[in-house]
Amino acid sequence: MPRYKTVEQILALMKDRTRVRNIGIIAHVDHGKTTTSDQLLASAGIISPKVAGEALALDYLKVEQQRGITVKAANVSLYHEVDNKGYVINLIDTPGHVDFSGRVTRSLRVLDGSIVVVDSVEGVMTQTETVLRQSLEERVRPILFINKVDRLVKELKLGPQEMMQKLLGIIREVNNMIDMYAEPDFKERWKINPNAGNVVFGSAKDKWGFSVPMSQKKGIGMKDVIAAYTAPDKTKLNELAQQVPIDEALLDAVIRFVPDPVEAQKYRIPKIWKGDLDNELAKAMLSADMNGPVVMMITDMKVDPHAGLVATGRVFSGTVRPGQEVWLVNAKTPQRTLQVSLYMGQTRELAEEIPAGNIAAVLGLDKARSGETLLDVRFKDLQGSFERLHYVSEPVVTIA
Ligand code: GDP
């Protein structure tokens, strides 16, 4: 699979937008969110800049892996192919747990799809319910990853039939929640359906996973999983990871089931934009118009030892370029963008422009904080943002 792409090739995909997906991973604590994202990063997360040759690409890979150990990136872009078509999948970091500041909700705001990770033995837990509910409330489409399937064999010693029963029970529970929390328009369309392929069964730790369609196509099933874990050595388990790699299973499902930004923004903007929907700005966002006025939501501000403060976020309309004057809605101040870059794997590479529907990293916005909304400065009087300034709901104490 040609994983090594140039900045120009990735930018061409970003402009196509049918080839872009914006996703995050959400889970109850300990169900495997970190292990799952590490697997995606290790196996599919390397997009090499400026190099076409395999040898150069491998050198780059080494450098990137070394850097990856010290700098754990909040956002990564993955390259994956389905039916010989290439896609850019932006994996955006969501906080590990829900806190009182609504931070999970804030990062969900820039996603169109979520991978909900559930431990096969523990099943749906309280935080699974919380993060799934928040995802549905933001109109972020969930797909399901039932992780730690090895435990069903090694700890519970279940046979293939009993395993399927247990897994179907989890799917039923997730669907009950979708029934409870999704809005009427999305309830039926967004239910998890194993036969369609929007649930992956696997083990992030052992690097294998499959959906029902993938299992049929490759002729691998639960009997092979049981054989791998009851074998005297790891040969069969390693084979399983080769035959049905977890990154392929998850990224295939993401590409097939998570909507592209143009489709998603039609129904997401009315939900997440706190402002008038009838002006030029909102209309450009509703159609993810890359020629419209710039609107971007910042989800993350980080200090880069070489570059200074890096603002990362999603461009909802227009095209972000260096040297643009933008208005910071919360800070109530104009600022000028300096450098603009895109994530290539875990590192950033300079870009001349990042169009609507994508994730951009921008320098020069030192007055921004995460949660900030950037607008084309000409529209600063339109009064809209992705997050009201007093968004944080704090308990109100009244003294009688
Ligand atoms: P997080 O809290 O959701 O980020 O969970 P982690 O990814 O840190 O995983 C929690 C624990 O579960 C760690 O000890 C992992 O090694 C373990 N774990 C992750 N994936 C699997 C798996 O597929 N099978 C088993 N048995 N353990 C796993």
Please report the atom of ligand 1 found closest to the CA of residue 29. 2
Nearest residue by C-alpha to atom 9 in ligand 1: 32
pLDDT value at residue 397: 45
Pocket lining: 43 vs ligand 1, CB cutoff 6 Å:
no
Pocket lining: 204 vs ligand 1, CB cutoff 6 Å:
yes
Pocket lining: 27 vs ligand 1, CB cutoff 6 Å:
yes
26, 35, 91, best to mutate for ligand 1 pocket (most atoms within 8 Å of CB): 35
For the whole model, what pTM was predicted?
A: 0.90
pLDDT value at residue 399: 45
pLDDT value at residue 48: 52
pLDDT value at residue 153: 97
What string of DSSP letters covers 276-332?
Answer: -SSSHHHHHHHTT-TTS--EEEEEEEEEETTTEEEEEEEEEESEE-TT-EEEETTTT
Instruction: Decide: 77 and 359 in contact? Cβ < 8 Å.
Output: yes
Summarize pLDDT for 19-76 with one digit per residue, the tens.
Answer: 999 999 999 989 999 899 888 887 655 555 444 444 444 445 555 555 443 334 468 8
Pocket lining: 58 vs ligand 1, CB cutoff 6 Å:
no
pLDDT averages per 10-residue partition of the chain, 400 residues: 71 94 93 90 58 46 49 70 92 66 72 97 94 94 98 96 96 98 96 97 97 97 96 96 96 98 97 91 96 94 88 96 96 96 83 96 94 93 74 42
What's the CA-to-centroid distance between 196 and ligand 1, angstroms? 26
What's the CA-to-centroid distance between 226 and ligand 1, angstroms? 19
Three-state SS for 250? helix
pLDDT value at residue 198: 96
Instruction: Decide: 44 and 247 in contact? Cβ < 8 Å.
Output: yes
Pocket lining: 34 vs ligand 1, CB cutoff 6 Å:
yes
What's the CA-to-centroid distance between 97 and ligand 1, angstroms? 15
- Rounded CA separation 102/95 (Å): 10
What's the CA-to-centroid distance between 204 and ligand 1, angstroms? 7
Summarize pLDDT for 185-238 with one digit per residue, the tens.
Answer: 999 999 999 999 999 999 999 999 999 999 999 999 999 999 999 999 999 999
128, 130, 205, 250, best to mutate for ligand 1 pocket (most atoms within 8 Å of CB): 205
> ipTM of the predicted structure?
0.99
- Rounded CA separation 90/219 (Å): 30
